Structures are given as structure tokens and as C-alpha cells.
Amino acid sequence: MEPGNHSGLPVFLLLGLSEKSEIQSVVFGLFLSMYLVTIFGNLLIILAIVSDSHLHTPMYFFLSNLSFSDICFTSTIVPKMLLNIQTRSKVITYAGCITQMYFFTVFGLLDNLLLTVMACDRFVAICHPLHYTAIMSPRLCAQLLFLTWFISMLGALPESLSMLRLSFCAVIEIPHYFCELPEVLKLACSDTFNVILYMVTSIMGFFPLVGILFSYSRIVSSVLRISTADGKYKAFATCGSHLLVISLFYGTCLGVYLSSMQTHASGMGAFASVLYTVVTPMMNPFIYNLRNSDMKGTLRKLLCSVLSSQ
């Protein structure tokens, strides 16, 4: 490949999970299946919440937005990967790489912030049940949703803008299946240290996690003061699904971070990224549907109505 820098609009090559041609069809089928399950499962959650007035509560309002965010999050990566496998092309343009990086970061941050808002919602519901409807009013929910979108779109800018000041060396091959910033920075010939970028990344990761930990520490403290075992079980049951999703999200992100620290293990980092870019959005509908009696009841009604109309 010809040497280039950002002024010459370089073209990147996404090497994917493996360069072995014999397993490309397996990778294509696996990722297509997981992508379709992700889309169908999260759309089902949105449809169930919209169609059932009993689910028009703050918790399900934010859950439907989390499902929408998961669909968009996965859609920024998987379709391009599937297209590259199908056409046997590894090319992604400079503009395409920046665009993918921006929207991937937007919806990743949005997931993170929505999980934080949902943790705060559970905190108010369990610790201040008598004032829950007054505090979590429709107006406040709309304002919180707007704030999460605004912070996500603003917070994703430093990563994308940092690409504009980089120059690249002769071979621009990304050992990944999408334009992940750490992998792209490794290929740059110029200085990649950006104070604003690292500050924004640290803040976006630190404060939401602190908010979640604070909310659940107060929830646990409040639940432990409940005298009856049945009351404790019901209180924990209301946030059990959310805790599982948080554990899955942060656990996979931590795994990717630890693997990225090993500079010689780019392949391992790509495989680890599958967990939070594809597996986590796919698992969220199963977690919320299987552990939530309200969701299961609504989905059962939807299925019965569909079958009766045929």
C-alpha cells in the first residue's frame, strides 16, 4: 500500500478476526445469526413496551431506549464486517473509519449512561418508594434521556477529531474487524498522546461507574433493613436483571481493556471485543425477558394476539 497521511485520505484494511479463507463462511454465518437475534430481540422489547400501557413506567422507558441503543451500537459494526466478508474486501475508507468510530463511541457511551440512569431509577424506586412517581416524572425522564444523548454525542467528538491530526505510515492494516481507536492509534506515525482525549475517556468511564456503585450500595443498605425475607426478595428481584446487564457490560469491557494492554495480543483483543460489541447486546433481551414476569406476560399476550389473527 502506498504511504499516506490524513491529507492524502488513506485507506485502511480491516483484517477481521482471521485471515484464513476457509473459516470466513463460518464467521459470516455466526455473526449474521447473532446480529439477527440482537435486532429481533431488542425490537421485541421495544414493541412489548410500546404496546402495553402497564409498562409505560420510567424503568421500561429507559429499557426501551437501551434496546434501541443496542441495535444501533451493533449496527455500526456488524453490517460492514458482513459486507467485507461477502465481497472479500477488507477496505474501509478514511471517512468511513472516522464515521464508524464516532457512532460506535456515541452508542457505547449512550449504553453506559442509560445503565447509570436505570441504576438511579432503581435507587429511587427502592429507597424512596412513596416519592417515586413524583421524583421520576415524565418530564424528568425526558430530560434525562436528552442529557444522555447530548453527553454521548459530545463525548464521542474527541476520539473522532483526534483522527484528523494523525499521519499514518506505509502499511495501514488494522488487526480488527472495526475501527477501534486503540488499534488505529498504534498505526499512527505522529504523536498520539492527546490530553483531552484521555481526560474525556476517563471521565466518561469513571463517573457513570461511580453513580452505579453509589446507587446499588444505597439499594443494598436499604434492602438489608427490610425485616421480612419476602420483602427483601421482591426488592432485589426488581433490579436483578439490571445488575446482570451491568455485570455483563462492565465485565466484558474490563476484559477488552486488559487484553488491549498486551500489545502483542491484538488478535486476542479482537476476539475479546466480540463480547461487548455483539454478545452483550444479544444477551440483554434474554436477560430482561427471562427474569421479568411483566415482560414475559406482555410477550405472551403479543404472541397470542399474533397467533389468533392468523
- Edge-to-edge order in the sheet of strand 91-93: 91-93, 11-14, 173-174
Give the residue, 86 or 242, on which the prediction is more confident. 86
The pLDDT value recorded for residue 291 is 67
Is the confidence at residue 304, as pLDDT, over 70? yes
The pLDDT value recorded for residue 192 is 55
The pLDDT value recorded for residue 9 is 67
The pLDDT value recorded for residue 144 is 96
Helix (H), strand (E) at residue 58: helix 58-75
Distance from C-alpha of 233 to C-alpha of 228, rounded to nearest angstrom: 9
Amino acid in position 131: H
Give the residue, 91 or 186, on which the prediction is more confident. 91
The pLDDT value recorded for residue 294 is 76
Name the one residue in this structure whose C-alpha cell is 416519592: 131
66-87: pLDDT as tens digits: 999 999 999 999 999 999 888 8
Give the residue, 147 or 301, on which the prediction is more confident. 147
- Residue 12 phi/psi, 5-degree rounding, is -95, 155
Furthest-apart CA atoms within the chain: distance in Å: 71
The pLDDT value recorded for residue 64 is 93
At residue 246's C-alpha, the angle toward residues 157 and 32, to 5°, is 75
Cβ-based neighbours of 64, under 8 Å, separated by 6 or more: 45, 46, 49, 50
What's the mean pLDDT in 293-297?
Answer: 77
Contact 100, 80 (CB under 8 A): yes
Exposure of 301 in the CB half-sphere (CA atoms within 13 A): 12
130-151: pLDDT as tens digits: 899 999 999 999 999 999 999 9
What's the mean pLDDT in 238-255?
Answer: 77
- The count of residues in the chain is 310
Cβ-based neighbours of 243, under 8 Å, separated by 6 or more: 216
Distance from C-alpha of 120 to C-alpha of 218, rounded to nearest angstrom: 10
What's the mean pLDDT in 158-163?
Answer: 80
Is the confidence at residue 127, as pLDDT, over 80? yes
> Within its chain, how far is the Cα of 61 from the centroid?
17
Q: What percent of the chain has pLDDT over 90?
A: 29
Average pLDDT of every residue of the chain: 82
Is the confidence at residue 179, as pLDDT, over 70? yes
Give the model's confidence band at 253: pLDDT under 50 very low, under 70 low, under 90 confident, else very high: confident
- Which of the residue ranges 13-17, 145-149, 161-165, 276-280 would you say has the lowest mean pLDDT? 161-165
What SS3 state is found at 12?
strand
- Which of the residue ranges 12-21, 184-193, 201-210 would you say has the lowest mean pLDDT? 184-193
Distance from C-alpha of 1 to C-alpha of 138, rounded to nearest angstrom: 55
Is the confidence at residue 270, as pLDDT, over 50? yes
Distance from C-alpha of 27 to C-alpha of 10, rounded to nearest angstrom: 27
Give the model's confidence band at 102: pLDDT under 50 very low, under 70 low, under 90 confident, else very high: very high
